[in-house]
Structure formats: C-alpha cells, structure tokens
Structure 1
Amino acid sequence: MTVPELLLPLGTCVLLLVTNVYMARRIRAIDEIPLRKNLLLVMVWILPFMGAFMAWTHLPRQPRAPSAVAGPRPDGFSTEEALGELVLDEAHSFPLITHICICNGLPLLDWRALHTWAGSMNDAHRQRFAIEQGQRTWLLHLRDALGPHFHLYESEGTCVLSSLEDSVVVATAAYVASTRKRIRHVLAGVAHFEEHHKSILLVIDDEETYYGCVSNYYPEGGEFALSGGMFIDAGCAHFLVKRADLSAIEPVIAHEMTHNALAHLKLPRWLDEGLAVNTERRLTGALPSLVTPQELRRMHLKFWGETEIQEFWCGQSFFRTDDGNLLSYELARILVEQMGRDWELFARFASNAKRADGGAEAARDIFGTDLGAYACALLEREPDPRWSPNPAAWVTHEPEASPT
C-alpha cells in the first residue's frame, strides 16, 4: 500500500476523532436531562460524522458576544450609575452600600433592612416607592457585577437584566407582560400580581454564574437539582433563567411567573409546582419527552413508597438529584390536572391549602377526599393510611427558590 493510500484512512480517522471530541465537549457543557445527554453522546460515537451532525442540530445555540449598538438605544435602557446611597428627600436616606454583601461574586442586599427603613415612613405610597427604588438600585449593582455587556431594561410592568440584544430584550419584556395577563386569565381566582409591582427577570449567560446566584438562596452545603430557571422569593421577588433563544426560555418564564403569581398563597410545594407545570403547558405547549408514557408509568410504580410520598407532600422530593425530581413534577402535574377539572372547586381548594399539612385538611373539607388515598389510586395501589400527609414525620429545610 502506498503512502497516499495510508494517509487517506488515517486522515479520516483523525478528522472523525476531532469532530467527535468537539461535539462530546459541547454536549457535556449543556444543561439537559442526563438521559438525553447520554443519548446524544452515544449517537456521536456510534454513527461516524452523521451522529455528530444530528447531535449538533439538537444543541442550543451558544450565546454570541453582543454586537456594537448602531445608533441610540430604544427608550427603557438605563444608563445611570449604581449609587451607594438611596435618597428620597432630605429626611429620608438609606445607606444601601453598607447593607450589601458580595456572595459568589454577586451583590446581595439585606432586604429586611430596606423594608424596615421603608416601613418607618407613614405614607404607604412612599413606602412602596422606597422599596421599588431599593430594588432598582440593587439591579444596577448586579448589572455592574455581571459585566459591561449587561444592561437593565425597564418597561411599564417589567424589568429585564440581561446581555441580550436590544430587540430581543424588548421582545422578552413584551412576552413577560403578556404572560402576566394570560396567567391571570388561566388561573382566575387564584393568581395575583401586585398592581404596582414589576416582574423582574434576570437572564444569566453561563451555568457557573447561574448556579452561583441560585446557591445564595439554598442552605449552605445543600444539593439542588439542575434547572433552567428559578423563582426567588426572598425579600425581592424575581425570577432568573439561563440565556437561550427566546422560544427556548418562554416556557421557563411562563413557569416561573406562575410561581410569582401564586406566591401570596404560600401553597404546598406539590400544589405550587403542579399548577406551574400545567400553566406552562397550557401557555406554551408540552415539550417533547424522552421518556414514553409506558416507561414513566413503570418508573412511578417502582419509585413511590411510604418514605418517598412523605417527601413529596412536604416538598423535599422536588430537590432530589435523581429520578425522584422528574417523578415529583410529573405526579404534581397529574394530581393538579385531575383535581382541577372542576375549576371553581379547585380554586377554593388552592385558596385554602396550607403548606404546613400539605393541603390535607383543605382536600378533606372541599373535595371530601384523603390526599394519600387519591395518590394511591393514581399510582394503582390500595389505599394506605401511611400515604396520607404526615407533618410529624417531615424534616424540611426549604430553600427560598423554586427550581424548574
């Protein structure tokens, strides 16, 4: 065999190896369901070149560096500096900078101190204005910490902090505003947004910064499941998502805004998540699943037991890092879907359900049913009193974030 004849297959092997290594690194870098990532990796290595091409078509586009802005920006983009002191008038000022700490490289404001200062004013309008200005100033500090390519955009009912292109930011803010209206309609009698409160959306570019931000609201050393977005209800209600194409983050925005709209009820975690998942699906459509209904049924029947169902009722199973996370969201979705068929009755249930007992008392009073027996029926089991919510057996350390 001649040298050229040897070089051709060798070159092909080298090209295949380089292509597959590159695609494998891209796949490992994305935030996806582990099963889906594994399937993409197998496809890359089993099908020469074609597998890499097919995997590439399933990967989200990587965010590009923002291009230079041609001409003036649209109205709504803030250009002001982040001040260290919040001054309303000569008699009312708040040394905001002394109440900010840096955690994971990001500024966190002592919201209790801000609310205490605002509460010292006698006028309710001035109190609300003081808190809004404190939130806005914190966002400006956060903008500066995230980097020069980040900007704060404000519309009538929305604040968006991101590095998105100007036109995409405006479209995102418009989507948030329309989603508020749609959630009010879909969850009539249950959803509530403060009349003067703006929906605050943080769009984070990379996973390291995203999880650094999220970890600030979890117990120290606690584990949390992978997510594409979270609602944070800790002094300043806001939600954050990872950067992606607008169509990819729309379901996350719908899900997290539903949590925002339900926050005033302090619902049991399963009920809150079940409503969020069903509302997301209704507003944006159901996402394709890598798990068939038959496989999902087998997983449910194998996973749930007395211990696991108590984790579900108290909310801890939603923070598991195994299949229990997926199955918790699915069980919550099914429960809410079934119970919500009589919406008027369900709205009464949701308005009265207490987190302390997992909604057990409200279910008995309004539906005349035991939640444990209801779950047993859905999971094809005989009724078992050990499956009813049992707060005495719960050990909870609830974070201040709701993962998606």
Structure 2
Amino acid sequence: MLKLLRSLVKPKQLATTEAVAALPPPPVAVSAEGSDDFSVTENLLGANGLPVLNWDAAQQWVDGVEGEAAQARAWSECERAWLEHLRVALGPEYRLRELDTALLLSTLEKNVAEATLAFVDKTLQRVVRILDGVAHVPEWGHDILIVFDDDDAYYKYVAHYYPEAGEFAGSGGMYINAGCGHFVTVKADLRAIEPVIAHELTHACLSHLPIPAWLNEGIAVNTERRLCPPPPPSSAGTTPQQMHARHQKFWGPGEIQQFWSGKSFLRTDEGNELSYDLARIIVSQFGAAWDRFRSFVLSANAEDGGASAAAEHLGVHLGDVVSALLEQGPSAQWAPNPAAWIGAPERGAFSAG
C-alpha cells in the first residue's frame, strides 16, 4: 500500500482537476430521533477564516441523544457536517470522500484519494493485528485526514490550535486532538503524514486502557516504525552509541520520575526526544515476549507507572530495567515513585507536529 501511494503521489507533478457535478450546500443542522436538532451553523467558530465546530456544544448535544448507537451516529453526522462546511470554505476543488471509518477532505485526484483512504483503513487493520489482544477500535467517530493544497492554508488552520506558536517549522503534518481528532497535512507532503497516521491510530486503539504515558508512547513508536520504517540514518546522523551517551548524561533520579509520570514527554528540551526513545527501547525489549507483554499492557496502570503489572506479568522491576539500560547500579531511586510526582500522571497520546 505504501508503494502504491508513493507511486501515485508525485509532489512536482501537476494534477488535473477532477470533473464533478455541483455539490449540495453543507447541512445547517444535524438531526437525531427524539432530540432537538443541533444547529451546525450557529456552532461554527472561526479558525483564521476557516470554520471549526464547537465540539463542546456538539458533545453536549450528543450526550442528550438516547442510546449509544444513536449517539455514535449523531457524532459522526456532526463530523461530516463540519467537514462539508470546511470544504466550501476551502474552495470548489475540494471534495469529501469516505471509506469505512476514514474520511478524506482534499483536492486529490480520485485514484490518489482512494489510495490514501485505503492506506488509512489498511493501517488501522494492521495496527489491530500487530497489537493482538490489546487493540480496541473506538466505536465512535471517523479517522479524518485533511490535505490542504498549500502551506498558507495549512498553517492558517493549524495556527488556530497553536495561537502562541508563532512561526512554524517545516512540518510533514500533524494530529490535532481537539474535540474531534483529525490529521492535517499539505498535498506536497502527503507521504510524510504516513508515520503520523500509524502512530496516532495506535493511540486510538489503546485509548480504552489506563496505561502510563511511557507505555502508550513506546507502543505507538514501535508500531509506527514497524508499519512505516524510517529511512536509514545518514552518515551525519546520531549513532546508537551517541544516543546512548545522551541518555546516560540526561537521566538522573529526578528526571526518571518525570519519565515514569509522563511529564518528561511534555518537556520542550531534549528530554522530550529522549523520553520517546527510552520508551521505544523499553517497549521493544518487553514486547519480544508478546503473550507476557500483552498481559502486562492489559494490567498496567498510570497511577504507579506500570510497576506492579511489570512485576506480576514480566517478572521485572522497572527501576532495575532502566538502571541497567543506563549502566547505573541498581537503586530504588530509579523505580517509579508516585509520591514524588507533581500532579496526576500522564496517559500519553500527546499532540505533536
């Protein structure tokens, strides 16, 4: 599927506009049996000239719909209605397409759009297979991908969610987890969104579990790399030995408590990168024995950083694992210590660009 998508998408190739009939106007309201209609137009917010639905208001309306199946349908209709309004705002060349749980808003030619939708759908299926006995596909909502034609529209939209970010560095796309989670990218960077999709679909399939952030992110990074292998490191890149030295220099007793609590993933310095890498390494080692790892994941809880589940199902103490990786002597200071944490532990699935 990756090869098919890459063969269809050539950034410098001019795409011919698909001839389509005039589309009906977007819905002004969404209906659900037994409930008052939800006004879409009255709940649209401005995102630098582009419409964003008030998802808090939508959620409040959906909560009043009777029955889980009806609520799921109502939420899905809110998603579609918002995307139809966004389609109109972006211009007449944009089209909204659907395949199973995937929705795509773009100007991509039909064959490229279909391949993109198939990639999202197939990736979800592969995540479920890889995370055998652990993954659970959410019953609500779609996997939404918005492909903007150019950088201006993309950054104008993204700036709504990150108003204090100022100038954005080059981005291959991101997942925006705000009310209604969705992927965004630019047409020229379509291939770069693939690992982001794999990573975030993994998080979605783990969202039913109270696991700690390091486990959540470690599983997501390993699954992402398995489905979308990164390019081989260049000669100028960081070697594994250099990365190991960075870990040894950075992690101390205080920093490791941030790791176990998930707070280190929110750092804005190198601790952010090193947190994801340390989580990747630990999960890669634990996941080699899948049956035991599955039992561990299903039992792990963020409240103790997964310590009791690791001892019970893996027969290891997390502090000993980390101290060995860092080539430090065994000590209780490396183990999760919730009493030393500041605030509630994080569960992961952090938005990133």
Q: What range describes the TM-score normalised by the shorter chain of this pair?
A: 0.7 to 0.9
Aligned residues of 2:29 and 2:38 also touching (Cα < 8 A) = yes
TM-score normalised over the length of structure 2: 0.82
* Runs of 4+ that moved beyond 6 A: 222-226, 396-400
Asked whether 1:288 is paired with 2:232, we answer yes
Question: What is the Cα deviation at residue 241 of structure 1?
Answer: 3.9
Q: Hey, what's the Cα distance between the residues in 2 that align with 1:388 and 1:378?
A: 13
Of 50, 53, 56, the match for 1:109: 53
Question: What is the Cα deviation at residue 346 of structure 1?
Answer: 1.0
Question: What is the Cα deviation at residue 170 of structure 1?
Answer: 1.0
Asked whether 1:394 is paired with 2:338, we answer no
What are the equivalent positions in structure 2 for 1:183-198 lying under 5 Å apart? 183-194=127-138, 197-198=141-142
Aligned residues of 2:212 and 2:345 also touching (Cα < 8 A) = no
Aligned residues of 1:243 and 1:249 also touching (Cα < 8 A) = no
Aligned residues of 1:230 and 1:256 also touching (Cα < 8 A) = no
Q: 1:30 maps to which residue?
A: none
Q: Hey, what's the Cα distance between the residues in 2 that align with 1:387 and 1:298?
A: 18
Q: Hey, what's the Cα distance between the residues in 2 that align with 1:356 and 1:229?
A: 32
Q: 1:44 maps to which residue?
A: none
Matched residue type, 1:130:
A
Matched residue type, 2:298:
S
Q: 1:272 maps to which residue?
A: 216
Q: Hey, what's the Cα distance between the residues in 1 that align with 2:250 and 2:285?
A: 21
TM-score normalised over the length of structure 1: 0.72
Q: What CA RMSD, in Å, does the superposition of the two structures yield over aligned residues?
A: 3.3
Asked whether 1:129 is paired with 2:69, we answer no
Moved more, 378-387 or 329-338: 378-387
Q: What residue ranges of structure 2 are gaps of 5+ in the alignment?
A: 1-8
Q: 1:139 maps to which residue?
A: 83
Moved more, 387-396 or 259-268: 387-396
Query: How many residue pairs get matched?
Result: 339
Distance 1:295 1:90, change over 3 A: closer
What are the equivalent positions in structure 2 for 1:152-301 lying under 5 Å apart? 152-194=96-138, 197-205=141-149, 210=154, 213=157, 228-244=172-188, 246-289=190-233, 290-301=237-248
Q: 1:351 maps to which residue?
A: 298
Matched residue type, 1:68:
T
Q: 1:361 maps to which residue?
A: 308
Question: 1 or 2 for the larger relative contact order (CA 8 Å, sep ≥6)?
Answer: 2
Q: Hey, what's the Cα distance between the residues in 2 that align with 1:264 and 1:227?
A: 29
Q: Hey, what's the Cα distance between the residues in 2 that align with 1:244 and 1:284?
A: 18
Q: Hey, what's the Cα distance between the residues in 2 that align with 1:101 and 1:400?
A: 25
Q: Hey, what's the Cα distance between the residues in 2 that align with 1:208 and 1:394?
A: 39
Q: Hey, what's the Cα distance between the residues in 2 that align with 1:365 and 1:80?
A: 58
Q: Hey, what's the Cα distance between the residues in 2 that align with 1:235 and 1:254?
A: 20
Q: Hey, what's the Cα distance between the residues in 1 that align with 2:320 and 2:181?
A: 35
Q: Hey, what's the Cα distance between the residues in 1 that align with 2:148 and 2:283?
A: 31
SS at match of 1:159: strand
Distance 1:253 1:282, change over 3 A: same
Question: What is the Cα deviation at residue 402 of structure 1?
Answer: 2.9
Q: 1:403 maps to which residue?
A: 352
Distance 1:329 1:196, change over 3 A: closer
Q: 2:289 maps to which residue?
A: 342
Q: What residue ranges of structure 1 are gaps of 5+ in the alignment?
A: 1-59
Q: Hey, what's the Cα distance between the residues in 1 that align with 2:146 and 2:286?
A: 33
Question: What is the Cα deviation at residue 198 of structure 1?
Answer: 3.0
Q: Hey, what's the Cα distance between the residues in 2 that align with 1:91 and 1:360?
A: 46
SS at match of 1:194: coil
Matched residue type, 1:138:
W
How many percent identity over aligned positions?
44
